C-alpha cells in the first residue's frame, strides 16, 4: 500500500514538472540537428568504395523502410477518399521531395571528390539564404532589411570558407556544393508555396528516390560488394540523418516552436564540421570556423 502511495506521489511530481506539449515537441525537433550533423562524416566513410547511385539506392531504401516502420495512419488516411486531392497534387509532393533530396545529395557527394567535407557542408548550408532570394523573386517572401544583412553576412562567411587558407578547395567542388544547396532550396520554396497544411511526403519521396537511384545504378554503374565499414556507414546514413533526422524535424516544426527550431537548425553545419574535426577528417582553420560562424549568424538574422 505504501509503495502504491509513493508511486502515485512520484507520478504527480513528474506531471507537475514535465514540459508542456509544445516544449516537448520542440525538443524532439532539436534532435534533428545532431542527427543531420552526422551526414558529412558518414558520407566520407561510405562513398569511397560504393558507386554513387548504388550508394543512393542503399540510403534511400533504408530511409524509406525506417520511415514506414515509424509511420502511423492518420484519421484522414483511414477515411474514404471522397474529396481527396487530384492525382497530380498527390504525386507532386513526393516528386519534389525526391528531386530536392536526391539531386541535392548527388551534388553534395560529387563535391566531396573535389573539396573537403566540412567546407562542402558549410557551402551547402547557404540554402536558407537561397530560399529567401528565390522566395522573394516569386513573391512568396517580402525582403526586409535583415534579409539583405543576412545575405551579405552569409556571403562573407562563404568567402572565408572558400578563402586562401582552406586546403584543397576547387571551383568545381564549390559549384557542386552550392548546386546541392540550390536543389534543396527549390524544394523548400515549393513547400513554402504549398503552405502550412502541406501533406506528409517524406516516406513516398524516399521510396521514389530509391527507385530512381536503382534505375540509374543498373543503367550506368557496375554493382560492387561494399566493404563492411562502407556498407554500415551507408545504412547509418539512411537511418540517422535521412530517416530519424527528417522525422524528428517534421514533427518538431509542425508541433513545436517553429521560430526557435528555425534558428537552432543553422548550427547544423558547424556541428557537422566539429564532428569531422574530432574524427580527423577536417582541419580547424580560422577560415573554416569563422566562416561557419558567419553562415550560422546569417541564418539566425534571416530567421528573425
**Per-residue pLDDT, 217:** 96
**pLDDT for position 214:** 96
Question: Grid coordinates representing 111?
Answer: 563535391
Query: According to the model, what pLDDT value does residue 85 have?
Result: 60
Domain boundaries of the chain, sorted by first residue: 25-70+88-303
CB-based contacts of 41, cutoff 8 Å, min separation 6: 117, 272, 275, 276, 279, 281
Return d(Cα 208, Cα 187) in angstroms, integer: 15
Which residue carries 554500415 as its cell? Answer: 232
The total number of residues written for the chain in this structure: 304
Q: What is the pTM of this model?
A: 0.77
- Dihedral (C-alpha) 168, 172, 177, 182: value to the nearest 10 degrees? 160
pLDDT of residue 179: 94
Coil vs helix vs strand at 281: coil
Cell of 178: 552550392
pLDDT of 5: 42
Q: What pLDDT, on the 0 to 100 scale, is given for residue 196?
A: 58
Q: Taking a C-beta distance cutoff of 8 angstroms, is the pair 192, 139 a contact?
A: no
pLDDT for res 198: 63
In 3D space, the residue among 19, 30, 34 whose CA is nearest the CA of residue 251 turns out to be: 30
CA distance 141 to 260: 19
Distance CA 304, CA 146 (A): 8
pLDDT along the chain (304 residues), means of 10: 42 42 83 89 83 94 89 51 59 82 91 86 80 78 74 75 64 90 84 67 88 95 90 92 85 72 74 85 78 75 65
What span, in angstroms and rounded, lies between the C-alpha atoms of 255 and 228? 39
DSSP string computed for 136-174: HHTTSS---HHHHHHHHHHHHHHHHHHSTTSTT--HHHH
What are the phi and psi torsion angles at 100 (to 5°)? Answer: -65, -55
**Distance between CA atoms of residues 222 and 226, nearest Å:** 12
Separation between Cα atoms, residue 252 and residue 258, nearest integer Å:
8
Amino acid at each position: 500500500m505504501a509503495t502504491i502511495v509513493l508511486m502515485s506521489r512520484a507520478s504527480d511530481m513528474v506531471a507537475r514538472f514535465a514540459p508542456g506539449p509544445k516544449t516537448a515537441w520542440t525538443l524532439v525537433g532539436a534532435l534533428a540537428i545532431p542527427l543531420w550533423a552526422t551526414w558529412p562524416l558518414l558520407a566520407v566513410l561510405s562513398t569511397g568504395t560504393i558507386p554513387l547511385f548504388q550508394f543512393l539506392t542503399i540510403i534511400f531504401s533504408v530511409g524509406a523502410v525506417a520511415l514506414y516502420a515509424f509511420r502511423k495512419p492518420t484519421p484522414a488516411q483511414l477515411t474514404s477518399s471522397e474529396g481527396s486531392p487530384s492525382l497530380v497534387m498527390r504525386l507532386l509532393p513526393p516528386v519534389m521531395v525526391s528531386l530536392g533530396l536526391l539531386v541535392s545529395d548527388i551534388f553534395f557527394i560529387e563535391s566531396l571528390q573535389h573539396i573537403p567535407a566540412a567546407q562542402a557542408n558549410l557551402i551547402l548550408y547557404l540554402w536558407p539564404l537561397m530560399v529567401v532570394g528565390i522566395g522573394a523573386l516569386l513573391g512568396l517572401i517580402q525582403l526586409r532589411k535583415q534579409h539583405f544583412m543576412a545575405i551579405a553576412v552569409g556571403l562573407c562567411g562563404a568567402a572565408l570558407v572558400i578563402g586562401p587558407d582552406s586546403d584543397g578547395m576547387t571551383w568545381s567542388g564549390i559549384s557542386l556544393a552550392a548546386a546541392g544547396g540550390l536543389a534543396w532550396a527549390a524544394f523548400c520554396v515549393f513547400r513554402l508555396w504549398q503552405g502550412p497544411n502541406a501533406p506528409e511526403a517524406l516516406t513516398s519521396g524516399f521510396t521514389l528516390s530509391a527507385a530512381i537511384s536503382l534505375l540509374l545504378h543498373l543503367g550506368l554503374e557496375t554493382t560492387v560488394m561494399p566493404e563492411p565499414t562502407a556498407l554500415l556507414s551507408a545504412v547509418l546514413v539512411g537511418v540517422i540523418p535521412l530517416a530519424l533526422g527528417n522525422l524528428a524535424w517534421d514533427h518538431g516544426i509542425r508541433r513545436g516552436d517553429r521560430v526557435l527550431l528555425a534558428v537552432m537548425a543553422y548550427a547544423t553545419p558547424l556541428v557537422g564540421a566539429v564532428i569531422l574535426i574530432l574524427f580527423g577528417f577536417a582541419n580547424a582553420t580560422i577560415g573554416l570556423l569563422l566562416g561557419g560562424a558567419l553562415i550560422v549568424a546569417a541564418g539566425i538574422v534571416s530567421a528573425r
